[in-house]
């Protein structure tokens, strides 16, 4: 065990972190509850060092390894990994921050990599990480920065970028950016992608209208726990499986909206607290589906 700790200490030193920040990073990596394997911790530190020094784009094949390792660790324990990132980039770890966001300087470096990267697979990995930052990313990008999305070969990332653009910049600005990018680069938008874009825009517009209506109802009404339970159960039961996945696994801004709408009330049918990020992602999602089903059954019994 001492040898393993020594490997991490050497990795911290190689990454250029020293003093109190280095000790805190090592404490997080060594903590039993985090269970971060030594080689993954070393890769994490190497990745952060390459971003901070601007060497990331020149890493060739290691870029994908670093990004996949970082994404896995974030999924595993986002708060601990986020704390390490803050200590690495800011030499401090904020006691309170929303949804364990990454430090802004790190997001800026990732954004630069996302703009300049030519390898599509690496580019997709970078943007998948960036999109998890929600509102923080929206402050740092423009619609033009994500206009390339229509030509991505990865449908899931493409759709996430389109929805992000529409949600944060509005339908009109997002459409203008996409069409301008197509005209500037002489690239035709595939007809199937164009139809999909319009469908996503319509779906997002409908969702916003429903959100506004529901928010107005909630602000002007007082509900009992049973009534709250029925409202949410009815809403969830009206969604198809893709919408349920979107609700449960959406980016941080969607969860924060639901938390704000819920307020301080208890809610019986749906657990608004994000599930513990363990290695078994299937079990985490299964627990959410179970909560939804239990909520529907509870509503049926009440009414």
pLDDT, tens only, 135-190: 889 999 999 999 888 888 888 888 888 888 888 888 888 888 888 888 888 888 87
Q: Is residue 177 domain-resident?
A: no
**Contacts within 8 Å (CB) and 24+ apart, 263-267:** 263/218, 265/223, 265/225, 265/228, 266/225, 266/228, 267/225, 267/228, 267/229, 267/232
- Domain membership flag for residue 278: yes
Residue 126's pLDDT band (cuts 50, 70, 90)? very high
**What per-residue confidence (pLDDT) applies to 44?**
93
What does the chain come to in residues? 303
Contact between 299 and 233 under an 8 Å Cβ cutoff? The reply is yes
Least confident of 2-16, 40-54, 99-113: 2-16
133 DSSP 8-state letter: T
The structure's pTM equals 0.65
Query: From the centroid of its chain, how far is CA 75?
Result: 9
Q: Is the pLDDT of residue 108 over 90?
A: yes
Q: What is the pLDDT of residue 268?
A: 40
Q: What is the mean pLDDT of residues 25-47?
A: 85
> Considering Cα of 248, then 169, then 103, then 258, what sign does the dihedral take?
negative
The pLDDT > 70 percentage for the chain reads 69
- Is the pLDDT at 249 greater than 70? The verdict is no
Domain that holds residue 39: 2-141
Residue 166: per-residue pLDDT:
85
Q: Do residues 113 and 57 make contact, with C-beta atoms less than 8 angstroms apart?
A: yes
Query: Once rounded to an integer, what is the mean pLDDT over residues 237-248?
Result: 69
Domain end, chosen from 114, 141, 168, is at: 141
Q: Tell me the pLDDT band of 204, cut-offs 50, 70 and 90.
A: confident
Q: Tell me how many domains the chain contains.
A: 2
Which single residue is written with the structure tokens 């974030």?
74
Residues 200, 163: contact at Cβ < 8 Å?
A: yes
Tens digits of per-residue pLDDT, 56-96? Answer: 988 888 899 999 999 999 888 888 899 999 998 877 766 65
Q: Is residue 191 part of a domain?
A: no
Q: Is the pLDDT of residue 2 over 70?
A: no
Choose one of 141, 169, 200: the last residue of a domain.
Answer: 141
189 class by beta-carbon count within 10 Å (0-12 exposed, 13-18 middle, 19+ buried): middle
Q: How is 136-200 classified by DSSP, letter by letter?
A: HHHHH--GGGGGGGGG-S-HHHHHHHHHHHHHHH-HHHHHHHHHHHHHHHT-PPPHHHHHHHHHH
CA distance 258 to 235: 12
**148 belongs to a structural domain:** no
Residue 227 lies in a domain: yes
Last residue of a domain, one of 92, 109, 141: 141
**135 and 227 fall within a common domain:** no
Segment 45-56 shows an average pLDDT of 91
Cβ contacts of 103 within 8 Å, gap of 6 or more = 85, 86, 89, 90
- Rounded to whole angstroms, the Cα distance separating 153 from 169 reads 23
Q: Is there a domain that residue 263 lies in?
A: yes
Least confident of 104-118, 161-175, 257-271: 257-271
Q: Does 107 map to a domain? A: yes
Rounded to whole angstroms, how far apart are CA atoms 231 and 214? 10
> Per the domain annotation, does 206 fall within a domain?
no
């Amino acid at each position: 065990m001492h040898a393993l700790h020594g490997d991490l200490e050497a990795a911290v030193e190689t990454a250029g972190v020293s003093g109190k920040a280095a000790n805190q990073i090592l404490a997080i990596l060594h903590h039993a509850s985090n269970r971060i394997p030594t080689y993954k911790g070393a890769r994490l530190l190497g990745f952060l060092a390459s971003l901070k020094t601007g060497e990331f784009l020149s890493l060739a094949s290691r870029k994908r390894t670093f990004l996949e390792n970082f994404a896995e660790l974030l999924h595993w324990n986002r708060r601990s990994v986020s704390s390490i990132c803050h200590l690495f980039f800011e030499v401090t770890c904020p006691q309170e921050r929303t949804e364990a966001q990454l430090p802004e300087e790190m997001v800026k470096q990732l954004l630069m990599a996302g703009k300049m990267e030519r390898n599509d697979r690496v580019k997709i990995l970078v943007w998948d990480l960036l999109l998890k930052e929600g509102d923080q990313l929206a402050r740092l990008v423009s619609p033009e920065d994500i206009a390339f999305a229509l030509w991505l070969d990865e449908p899931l990332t493409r759709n996430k970028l389109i929805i992000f653009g529409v949600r944060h910049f509005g339908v009109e600005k997002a459409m203008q950016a996409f069409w301008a990018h197509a005209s500037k680069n002489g690239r035709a938008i595939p007809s199937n992608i164009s139809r999909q874009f319009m469908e996503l825009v319509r779906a997002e517009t409908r969702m916003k209208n429903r959100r506004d209506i529901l928010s107005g109802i909630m602000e002007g009404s007082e509900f009992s726990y049973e009534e709250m339970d029925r409202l949410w159960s009815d809403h969830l039961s009206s969604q198809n499986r893709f919408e349920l996945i979107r609700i449960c696994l959406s980016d941080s801004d969607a969860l924060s909206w639901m938390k704000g709408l819920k307020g301080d009330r208890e809610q019986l049918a749906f657990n608004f607290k994000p599930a513990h990020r363990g290695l078994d992602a299937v079990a985490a999602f299964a627990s959410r589906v179970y909560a939804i089903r239990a909520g529907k059954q509870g509503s049926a019994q009440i009414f």
